[in-house]
Amino acid sequence: MRRLSLALVLLCAVQARAQNGCLDQSYLPVPVNNGLEITANQTVTQTFTVGIAGLLTAVDVANVNHHRGTPTASLEVRIVATDPTGVPNGATLASLSFLPSQVPATRGTLAVDLSPFAIFVTPGTVLGLRLSSLAAPSTQTYAWWGEAAGTIHYAGGMVFIRDTTALSVWDLSFQSFVGVPAAWRNYGNGHPGLLGVPSLSASAPPVLGTSIDLLAGNSSGGTSAAALLAGFAPDNLATPFGGTLLVQVVASFTISVPPSGARVPLAIPAANALCGLPVYFQAVQVDGGASQGLAFSPGLELILGA
């Protein structure tokens, strides 16, 4: 069954997402020519629009650095709520403090773990990534870089200084990540054979970097051949064989199903780019007791995750 595992890797390669949960929002302009200073007189907030439901697990403050040497004041990072118009409203959902030694001295990425705050987010919610410091202006401070007027913009938000003053031509470098738990479920109706509808399930949640088994039940009472169908979207297509096709098929595999059922090994790649990806399966088994000689399992949906 190594072939099935390899095929899943190849199929998933065209469905990319990424790191510490699912990569949700990302603005990493190249080149990066414009920055804003973070001082006691100037907080800087980049707002962003959530695209995936789940727990906000992390943000990356990208292209941040010491400015005019090594600061003595810490850098404060907050996730803040916004009002219905997308303006930060002062409500803090998470707050962390970073010592100067924890912040890149030259332009780099500050990874911020938000998992302890259990921030559940839904698509369309606008949040703010807010940086502040007690560093006095014109001393050793911090700078956050992105792009001002130009062709590369982040459409899901904008920059605010001093919390409410919008800089509509600015966007600053960041990424946000949403955690999606690994899960599986059956959906749709199968079509019975001699002993009923053949089952199709998973031996464990499809956690990235692990191996699980797809468990195919036998409806015929004897060893029989089956086609295991795989794809990235469900379907509901009637067939001339009495059953309904429940997968938009991208690949299919022939398996042998003994009377006790088959275990089909499935390696889940340790690729964060696949986090949150749904993968769909259905088994169609040769069964002389089925109305048209074929028995169909229900659909099986796997959500690849943590």
Mean pLDDT, the chain, integer: 92
Read off the pLDDT of each residue in 85-98 and give the average, rounded to a whole number. Answer: 96
Element (H, E) at 90: strand 88-98
| Alpha carbons 202 and 43: distance in angstroms, whole number | 49
Dihedral Cα 296, 281, 206, 179, nearest 10 deg: -120
pLDDT at 8: 54
- 3-12 residue pLDDT tens: 455 445 445 4
Read off the pLDDT of each residue in 233-251 and give the average, rounded to a whole number. Answer: 97
Strands (E), 13-74: 22-27, 34-38, 44-49, 54-67
Read off the pLDDT of each residue in 238-250 and give the average, rounded to a whole number. Answer: 97
Read off the pLDDT of each residue in 272-289 and give the average, rounded to a whole number. Answer: 91
Give yes or no for a cis peptide into 31 (omega within 30° of 0). yes
Name the nearest CA neighbour of 61 among 196, 225, 176, 156: 176
- 120-166 residue pLDDT tens: 999 999 999 999 999 999 999 999 999 987 778 999 999 999 999 99
pLDDT at 73: 98
pTM of the model: 0.70
Residue reference for tokens 């403090």: 97
The residues near 290 (Cβ < 8 Å, ≥ 6 apart) are 191, 192, 193, 194, 219, 241, 242, 243
By the 8 A CB rule, do 96 and 132 touch? no
pLDDT at 4: 57
- 25-62 residue pLDDT tens: 999 999 898 999 999 999 999 999 999 888 999 999 99
Give percent of the chain with pLDDT exceeding 70.
93
Q: Is the confidence at residue 248, as pLDDT, over 70? A: yes
Tell which wins on pLDDT, 239 or 16: 239
| Alpha carbons 271 and 277: distance in angstroms, whole number | 11
- 198-228 residue pLDDT tens: 999 999 999 888 999 999 999 999 999 999 9
Read off the pLDDT of each residue in 84-91 and give the average, rounded to a whole number. Answer: 94
Strands (E), 122-269: 126-133, 141-147, 159-161, 165-167, 171-172, 174-179, 183-187, 200-202, 211-216, 224-231, 234-238, 244-247, 251-257, 262-267
Q: How many helices (H) and strands (E) does the chain have?
A: 1, 25
By the 8 A CB rule, do 81 and 121 touch? no
pLDDT at 16: 38
pLDDT at 2: 44
Q: Is the confidence at residue 14, as pLDDT, over 50? A: no
By the 8 A CB rule, do 177 and 26 touch? no
pLDDT at 20: 57
| Alpha carbons 260 and 218: distance in angstroms, whole number | 7
Q: Is the confidence at residue 306, as pLDDT, over 80? A: no
Read off the pLDDT of each residue in 276-291 and give the average, rounded to a whole number. Answer: 96
- In the chain, the domains with their CATH numbers are 2-15+181-303 (2.60.40.10), 22-178 (2.60.120.680)
pLDDT at 13: 43
